[in-house]
Structure 1
Amino acid sequence: MTEFMPLYKKLLRDPVVFARHASKTSLRSYQRGVAESIVDSVVNERGLSFVIIFPRQSGKNELQAQLEAYLMTLFSNFPVEMIKVSPTLLPQALNAMRRFERVMRKNTLVEQVWKKEAGNSYKLGEARITFLSGAPESNIVGATASGLLEVDEAQEVTILKYDRDVAPMSASVCATRAFWGTAWTSSTLLARELRAARADEARDGIRRVFTLTADDVAAEVSAYRKHVDERVAHLGRSHPLIRTQYYSEEIDSQGGMFPPERIARMRVGAVGAGSEPVRTIVSAPRVGSIYALLLDVAGEDEGVRGIFGSLTLANPARDATALTLVEVRFPSAEDQASGVRTGSSRASSEPAPTTLPTYAPVRRWQWVGVNHTQLHNLIRDIALEWNARAVVVDATGVGAGLTSFLDRALPGRVTPYTFNSASKSRLGWDFLGIVDSGRWREPLFPALPGSEQARYQNEFFDQLRACTFEVIDGPEQRMRWGVPDGSRNPVTGEPVHDDWVLSAALCASLERMDWRAPAPSLIIPAPDPLREMDGKY
């Protein structure tokens, strides 16, 4: 016992030493400063408010669990209450409890003395930590934090929930507060607390904000660089999820979905034979090419596609049925070796998605007020003429019948896509990933008078410019997007719809398809059992 106490006291003096020797976990350099600052505020009752923004999968949750284990051990002789709030009970709060239990079980100092006091509460001596849900419907009023109040994934906890139910938990003793999370929009709780913490830093010089990017993590963890490069190759460096989750950059919560630089990325030109941008309209399928059709369906009387994705039969001057034929191209072995993006007329400074397909529009068709019986025949003939390997069809509402007809006429080729608020949000994020990674490649049509394909392409770009988005705060990270009703071209005054944009966005459904050509049948001849009997009878 005499030899143990000096070691015990030494471990409790420093959370980094405690983690290394008691929990057998070495904290990274970017984790250590966070732990030391929070512990200093708790121990000295400073009541500071910290904001910690780490990229995804960079050790934020492990740091939390180690910090919680240290404080529970340090204050085991005192009635200190700690509270941790997660956006949801399942899975986030439950995962936080599991991580805490795992750390406590392998900690050589406390593995035998901590206990689970209730379903969401743990005790070590006199110290206690409680895990709560910050979901809007949760009932958490009445809990008190005297040592530390944590809000995990604070960008997903609503400001109303925090101000009404969570903030009062630390009011009586002015406990230290830690807001953990990943960057999102400027309207989140995390963003608000970040601005407040920076203002406090400027006033007294005490560091309260710890913001890391993927580059900071990769400097210590080489495998992390490979992971980030793969994600950037898939989605593009400017994709909102890359900017927020890996580079800790806030994004606007609403605005134009396709700013000029994003549209320019789509207009570089699809690569044809000889690696030159396509400048003529392709009138027939090329041997060896893979084609797919993307169909946005309007009602027979013209439908209205709401911003949530629902379709209603109304306003006969609204959208048309829009069909986009794309060529699905994969990088050659030479492209993969050189890192050049397929479909680009120049090398990209971003990591090239060397195994992902690009989508080059070949032709577009549009029908206004055509009944679905006629459409079925027209689209079937187009699919057969171009030998389309896949036909993605908007199967929402009135599109369900047309989808069923096409599925019977083109067995094995039709993929239905049903729009609702969740699926349309997912489609929007996925389409942005394709665009931002340079994998939507618009051809360069000659500016000929009366060119139908050039006109359709110009309408597509007009719709892109008119398309808006709004990011909804919350764990789902949903996005509302589309061309607002009543939009008009600022030059011509003509109505602007979103049929071409929705048709193009359906290419995201092609990402999950297996494009490998079926192997030829192989017949292995079996030996003739009667041959062995020859001459034996």
Structure 2
Amino acid sequence: MTYEYQTEFTYVADTDPLTGAPVMTAIPQTVRAAKQGIPYNVLSNFGDLFKRENLREAWRLLRKNDPFDYQIQVADAILYSCLNGLGWYFVVQITRQAGKNEISAFLQHYLLLYGWYFGVPVSGVKFAPVYKPQIQASMDRLEGAPTLDSGGLAGSVITSGQAKVDGQPCKYSKSDGYKFHIGPPRDSNKWAFLSINPTANVASQTAYTLLEGDESQDIDADKWERDAQPMGSFNNATTVLWGVAWTKDSFIYRGELMAHDMEDRLEKELGYRPKLVFKIDAYAVIASGNTNYKKAFDNQVARLGMDHIAIQTQYLLKAVDAIGRFFSAEGVARMYSGGFEMQVEPVKGHKYIWACDVAGQEEETTDVEASVGIHKRDALTFIVGDLLRDGTVVPICLYQWVGKQHSKVRDMLPKIIRYWGAIGGVCDGTGIGEPLAYHLKELFDRNNDGLVEAYKFKAAGDESKSKLGYLAYDFNHNDLIKVPKAPEDPDQLELWKELRWQVEHLTREAKRQQTINFYVPANAEPRKPGHVPHDDLVMALFLLMRAARNIDPNTGKATAFDREKSGV
């Protein structure tokens, strides 16, 4: 009998709400073949299901979809080590939304069923940095749901209790909220799911067969070696690190080197080189026949650019240096192209927005004047931007004060905003900047329409520094930020030079869970004698991009507010 299967997904571009990192969500489509599945009774001998040549049929039975070839290749290699007690160390990197967790869930399901059917001890532990959503998602993927189109423990006729295998009931169960079993709950036939964030109190478990680390680019190496790896020691369990590339300091990069070392040792011992490192990038997924993935990947590249850190790491699986320049030379050149000019007064018919990066004030009551870039402390920086109809923002006038009292700033900034007739803006609302930010919001956003935002760098969620950095990447790649050419006005020229220097020396630091930080290093080469490195102007520039994103250039209304009213 011939069965035709297919795996269909719709891919949707999205943004991580915490970090601002671009992400892609795969939405599975219900297909007729997945509803039908393969009836388990087509097997004359149920034990045949576990023959290596029947691996694809086993997947179809347990997962109710058809695997891509790369999924079968990875599963086959890992199962070979597990079932033969070889204790191999695998690193599997798969581009985002290409079925990594589906392979993991199949392995768990297959091995639990194997242990139950043959009466041999089987157990595994899967770790992830965060319990929700990572561990919860892995448990949901293994369990599935009791519906026609769902695989997993609850969706497969074999393990959902709907049928008997060789006269014996085969039903899964769950214990303690994080362990799954086939047959009666016991330690010799279980799969446990645990968080491994650095502060987690890891429960003692035994990985008799397989030890897994999910999103292992974010796992703390010391925590893993101390608390997780020993769980696989008793029976020389196979280890698999799942994830994508990130930095060369990340755990998965170190694991890749360790897996290659094991390949070297095994080649000398066995006379052939087993494959322990799998890197399935976007192009490999596309080559497998997933045409929808090609469309989604091409859209991501068009939107973000091939050099974007997310494209390079999450989709092309290339590890990057933990610290590097924020903007490439090409990115800086793009930002400074366009031939726009600075302005010192408003032009009728233009829409202006503003951004303010807040610095502390001196203890003295007098204002402190200092040459641009010479002052030791960050300055209060204010930028006025011209918001064009296509959403492009042009910073056309720069202001900066060092040590000015905030009481005077509260009177001065509203006058500047009114002079330009600005329709909205963003003010740094972190720490000492909070009173000023909410003062401006009270004056210019009386109806709370979202035209003025108090931006808190240290807050989680929508107001994170990482999100601001990703927004700047998007604006730069899509030519939505254009700095004018050098102005003739001497005061503006000095500020323009300082902004250019800060843009060129801005450093990006890749941190865990796709977060990024950015700053101008204190040891950056000075721009002129006595120059002190700062990032105040570039921070205000990033806040200006945030203001441009918040406001519809055609209506002058807040975009987030409009979406909320329309229910989108």
TM-score by length of 1: 0.80
**Residues 438 and 7 of structure 1: CA distance in aligned 2, closer, same or farther (over 3 Å):** farther
C-alpha distance in 1 between matches for 2:232 and 2:485: 61
Check whether the contact 1:322–1:366 (CA below 8 A) recurs between aligned residues: yes
Secondary structure at 1:6's aligned position in 2? coil
Secondary structure at 2:284's aligned position in 1? helix
2:378 to 319, 322, 327: 319
- Residue 429 of structure 1 corresponds to which residue in structure 2? 470
1:154 to 210, 216, 233: 216
**Residues 407 and 137 of structure 1: CA distance in aligned 2, closer, same or farther (over 3 Å):** closer
Superposition pairs for residues 95-106 of structure 1, below 5 Å? 95-102=137-144, 103-106=152-155
Give the ranges of 4+ consecutive aligned residues of structure 1 lying more than 6 Å apart after TM superposition: none
Kindly indicate whether residue 270 of structure 2 is the aligned counterpart of residue 212 of structure 1: no
1:401 to 428, 435, 450: 435
AA in 1 matched with 2:81: S
1:222 to 291, 307, 313: 291
Superposition pairs for residues 439-454 of structure 1, below 5 Å? 439-445=480-486, 448=488, 451-454=490-493
AA in 1 matched with 2:426: V
Deviation at 1:506, TM superposition (A): 0.8
- Residue 505 of structure 2 corresponds to which residue in structure 1? 466
Once the two structures are superposed, what CA deviation does each residue of 1:27-50 show, in whole Å capped at 9, x if it has no partner?
Answer: 112212111111111122222111
Check whether the contact 1:238–1:436 (CA below 8 A) recurs between aligned residues: no
Check whether the contact 1:462–1:496 (CA below 8 A) recurs between aligned residues: no
- Residue 522 of structure 1 corresponds to which residue in structure 2? none
Segment of structure 1 superposing worse, 229-238 or 457-466: 229-238
AA in 1 matched with 2:201: N
AA in 2 matched with 1:109: I
C-alpha distance in 2 between matches for 1:329 and 1:264: 20
Once the two structures are superposed, what CA deviation does each residue of 1:319-343 show, in whole Å capped at 9, x if it has no partner?
Answer: 2211112223354xxxxxxxxxxxx
Once the two structures are superposed, what CA deviation does each residue of 1:428-465 show, in whole Å capped at 9, x if it has no partner?
Answer: 3332333344432222236x5x6333321210121233
Check whether the contact 2:174–2:181 (CA below 8 A) recurs between aligned residues: yes
Superposition pairs for residues 35-114 of structure 1, below 5 Å? 35-76=75-116, 77-102=119-144, 103-112=152-161, 113-114=171-172
AA in 1 matched with 2:351: I
AA in 2 matched with 1:83: V
Give unmatched runs, 5+ long, in structure 2: 1-39, 145-151, 162-170, 268-272, 365-373, 558-568
2:457 to 405, 410, 419: 419
Check whether the contact 2:205–2:231 (CA below 8 A) recurs between aligned residues: yes
Check whether the contact 2:502–2:537 (CA below 8 A) recurs between aligned residues: yes
Deviation at 1:233, TM superposition (A): 4.1
- Residue 198 of structure 2 corresponds to which residue in structure 1? 136
AA in 2 matched with 1:96: S
C-alpha distance in 1 between matches for 2:156 and 2:104: 15
Check whether the contact 2:388–2:553 (CA below 8 A) recurs between aligned residues: no
- What is the total number of aligned residue pairs between the two structures? 470
Kindly indicate whether residue 540 of structure 2 is the aligned counterpart of residue 497 of structure 1: no
C-alpha distance in 1 between matches for 2:441 and 2:155: 56
C-alpha distance in 1 between matches for 2:284 and 2:76: 19
2:419 to 382, 385, 402: 385
- Residue 167 of structure 2 corresponds to which residue in structure 1? none
**Residues 136 and 147 of structure 1: CA distance in aligned 2, closer, same or farther (over 3 Å):** same
TM-score by length of 2: 0.76
C-alpha distance in 2 between matches for 1:433 and 1:132: 35
Segment of structure 1 superposing worse, 233-242 or 453-462: 233-242
- Residue 228 of structure 2 corresponds to which residue in structure 1? 166
AA in 1 matched with 2:453: T
1:28 to 68, 88, 102: 68
Check whether the contact 2:423–2:556 (CA below 8 A) recurs between aligned residues: no
- Residue 121 of structure 1 corresponds to which residue in structure 2? 179
C-alpha distance in 2 between matches for 1:322 and 1:3: 73
Segment of structure 1 superposing worse, 39-48 or 156-165: 39-48
C-alpha distance in 1 between matches for 2:455 and 2:47: 62
AA in 1 matched with 2:115: F
Deviation at 1:70, TM superposition (A): 1.4
Secondary structure at 1:361's aligned position in 2? strand
- Residue 11 of structure 2 corresponds to which residue in structure 1? none
Deviation at 1:300, TM superposition (A): 2.8
C-alpha distance in 2 between matches for 1:298 and 1:3: 73
**Residues 436 and 517 of structure 1: CA distance in aligned 2, closer, same or farther (over 3 Å):** closer
- Residue 535 of structure 1 corresponds to which residue in structure 2? none
Once the two structures are superposed, what CA deviation does each residue of 1:288-309 show, in whole Å capped at 9, x if it has no partner?
Answer: 4432101112223299xxxxxx
- Residue 260 of structure 1 corresponds to which residue in structure 2? 329
Check whether the contact 1:466–1:496 (CA below 8 A) recurs between aligned residues: no
C-alpha distance in 1 between matches for 2:216 and 2:250: 8
AA in 2 matched with 1:190: I
Deviation at 1:24, TM superposition (A): 1.7
Segment of structure 1 superposing worse, 288-297 or 496-505: 288-297
Check whether the contact 1:11–1:17 (CA below 8 A) recurs between aligned residues: yes
C-alpha distance in 2 between matches for 1:284 and 1:221: 55
- Residue 529 of structure 1 corresponds to which residue in structure 2? none
**Residues 213 and 4 of structure 1: CA distance in aligned 2, closer, same or farther (over 3 Å):** closer
Secondary structure at 1:380's aligned position in 2? helix
C-alpha distance in 2 between matches for 1:297 and 1:45: 61
Kindly indicate whether residue 255 of structure 2 is the aligned counterpart of residue 193 of structure 1: yes
Segment of structure 1 superposing worse, 366-375 or 150-159: 366-375
- Residue 342 of structure 1 corresponds to which residue in structure 2? none
Secondary structure at 2:247's aligned position in 1? coil
Deviation at 1:75, TM superposition (A): 2.1
Check whether the contact 2:206–2:231 (CA below 8 A) recurs between aligned residues: yes
Percentage of pairs with the same residue:
30
1:371 to 397, 405, 424: 405
- Residue 249 of structure 1 corresponds to which residue in structure 2? 318
**Residues 488 and 376 of structure 1: CA distance in aligned 2, closer, same or farther (over 3 Å):** farther
C-alpha distance in 1 between matches for 2:92 and 2:208: 20
C-alpha distance in 1 between matches for 2:412 and 2:175: 68
**Residues 151 and 18 of structure 1: CA distance in aligned 2, closer, same or farther (over 3 Å):** same
AA in 2 matched with 1:428: G
- Residue 17 of structure 1 corresponds to which residue in structure 2? 57
